[in-house]
Amino acid sequence: MLLPKSFQWGFATAAYQIEGAIDKDGRGPSIWDTFCAIPGKIADGSSGATACDSYNRTADDIALLKSLGATAYRFSISWSRIIPKGGRDDPVNQPGVDHYVRFVDDLLAAGITPFVTLFHWDLPEELHRRYGGLLNRDEFPLDYENYARVMFKALRRVSNWITFNEPLCSAVPGYGSGTFAPGRRSASEPWVVGHSILVAHGRAVKAYRDDFRAASDGGQIGIVLNGDFAYPWDSSDPADREACERRLEFFTAWFADPIYLGDYPASMRRQLGRRLPTFTAEEKALVQGSNDFYGMNHYTSNYVRHRTSPASEDDTEGNVDVLFHNKQGQCIGPETQSPWLRPCPAGFRDFLVWISRRYGYPKIYVTENGTSLKGESDLPREELLNDDFRVRYYAEYIRSMVTAVALDGVKVEGYFAWSLMDNFEWADGYVTRFGVTYVDYENGQQRFPKKSAKSLKPLFDELIAKE
């Protein structure tokens, strides 16, 4: 069982999590800069102000990627480095553009294929202040399209584009629970935000296809959606099996159904009613068919149990209980540092199959996959570098993916481990580590590859066909 010779693999990061240098070369503030300044929002009171200092260490990061054998690298652009105030009538910051042009050139010179994410949650703060940012389904898509066009024009050598990373995480924690930037709490706003993102995605894809793709040899563009697989709490109960499907629809099909099938899932319309926006004919034409590939972020699976009471107004999961133990008391997987994450490699294969069957077997890139380790930050460096738990996680998940390709007809063409290095883990600050490279934050952000970092090249050498 082998992956095709053309299969690409590497590591993924996000601008706000690694770049630092938040006030260098004309960068404007993002909603995450503002959010981090609010007391109590970040676990350790930190921010991405310095992070891994990657803005100033691109040569080090490329050397690290090359030493680990990566053939591709997924990273994101900081919108507020490009257009500090964000809007289509605001000035472009040329030093910010030049930074990413040089970075792409240097990656290609090192034999590493760039996969560029345009938006990984860090909206320019000025757009949030000006018109509500993602809440404005008229203004936001136009400003986003303009920003995307600036980057398409500047990075002509990039052939792999991602519009948005995990729109659910912008919408629900950002505007529902208030645990992510911009920290709003509402029962109705997440659905408006999700709709705005889909329309903006559609506008950017149309712009790329109409005006830029012809100049790019085999250029492609898509969105990245996250999702956990769901197993019934009681496998003999039809209501729990139906609840699993509903949970998957609220989590992933919320965004994938409009792109592949033309509208939101019926289960969402039934529960949410008028709170779920309706696509205009123009919006539907932009969104449906707007993926050249399916970007998949996946970390864990759950047992799901139906509820008998009506859904609360602020429910975003399909009126279900999301659990780690089933009716028989069996646990989905061992604990990690992240309360939401327990390894279950079988769920990876099953989720790949679910996506493929529902959407007609699209080309898939696994754009994030990885794990934290319980108590990792408390370990001495020598012990922390021997991250056998993470080595096992990657081996088991990647082999599960290969099985889906070989036996289930799933079309996976690339894989990116999350993450290249320990970094600013959003609301968890620096308490939680996902990196395959240890970053010593106390001593100048020095990088030390862990055992897991060195384990992936031999694994992919074994699993990718030579001819």
User: Tens digit of pLDDT for each residue in 8-42?
Assistant: 999 999 999 999 999 999 999 999 999 999 999 99
- 120 has pLDDT over 80: yes
pLDDT for the residue numbered 361: 98
pLDDT for the residue numbered 218: 85
pTM beyond 0.85: the answer is yes
Q: Which amino acid is residue 183, in one-letter code?
A: G
How far, in Å, are 190, 235, 284 from residue 193 at the CA level? 5, 34, 16
Per the prediction, the chain carries an average pLDDT of 98
Q: What percent of the chain has pLDDT over 70?
A: 100
Tens digits of per-residue pLDDT, 262-276? 999 999 999 999 999
How far, in Å, are 62, 144, 192 from residue 12 at the CA level? 12, 22, 28
Tell me which residue of 433, 432, 337, 429 sits closest to 42, measured CA to CA.
Answer: 429
Q: How confident is the model at residue 53 (pLDDT cuts 50, 70, 90)?
A: very high
Give every CB contact of residue 82 below 8 A, 6+ residues apart in sequence. 92, 93, 96, 97, 100, 147, 150, 151
- 222 has pLDDT over 80: yes
Tracing tokens 């099996």 back to the chain, one arrives at: 241
Tens digits of per-residue pLDDT, 306-333? 999 999 999 999 999 999 999 999 999 9
- 1 has pLDDT over 80: no
- 348 has pLDDT over 90: yes
Q: How confident is the model at residue 121 (pLDDT cuts 50, 70, 90)?
A: very high
pLDDT for the residue numbered 217: 79
Q: Helices 139-154 and 189-211 meet at what angle, rounded to 10? A: 40
CB hemisphere CA count around 194 (13 angstroms)? 32
Tens digits of per-residue pLDDT, 142-198? 999 999 999 999 999 999 999 999 999 999 999 999 999 999 999 999 999 999 999
φ, ψ (nearest 5 deg) of residue 367: -90, -15
For residue 239, what are its two tokens? 């209501």
Enclosing H/E stretch for 165: strand 160-165
How far, in Å, are 336, 339, 377, 379, 422 from residue 374 at the CA level? 4, 10, 8, 10, 14
Q: Which of 145, 189, 249, 368 is catalytic?
A: 368
Q: What is the mean pLDDT of residues 249-268?
A: 98
Tens digits of per-residue pLDDT, 277-313? 999 999 999 999 999 999 999 999 999 999 999 999 9
368 has catalytic annotation: yes
How far, in Å, are 38, 48, 186, 371, 464 from residue 15 at the CA level? 20, 9, 27, 19, 30
Tell me which residue of 218, 82, 216, 103 sits closest to 146, measured CA to CA.
Answer: 82
How would you classify the pairing of strands 301-306 and 320-323? antiparallel
Q: Which of 19, 125, 145, 166 is catalytic?
A: 166
pLDDT for the residue numbered 251: 98
Q: What is the mean pLDDT of residues 446-457?
A: 98
Distance, CA of 285 to CA of 14 (rounded, Å):
30
Q: How confident is the model at residue 215 (pLDDT cuts 50, 70, 90)?
A: confident
pLDDT for the residue numbered 300: 98
Spell out a b/e string for 429-457, using b for 16 or more CB atoms within 10 Å of the CB, else e.
Answer: bbbbbbbbbbbebeeebebbbbebbebbe
Alpha carbon of residue 460 to chain centroid: 22
Q: Are 292 and 221 in contact (CB under 8 A)?
A: yes
Give every CB contact of residue 351 below 8 A, 6+ residues apart in sequence. 227, 228, 229, 296, 298, 301
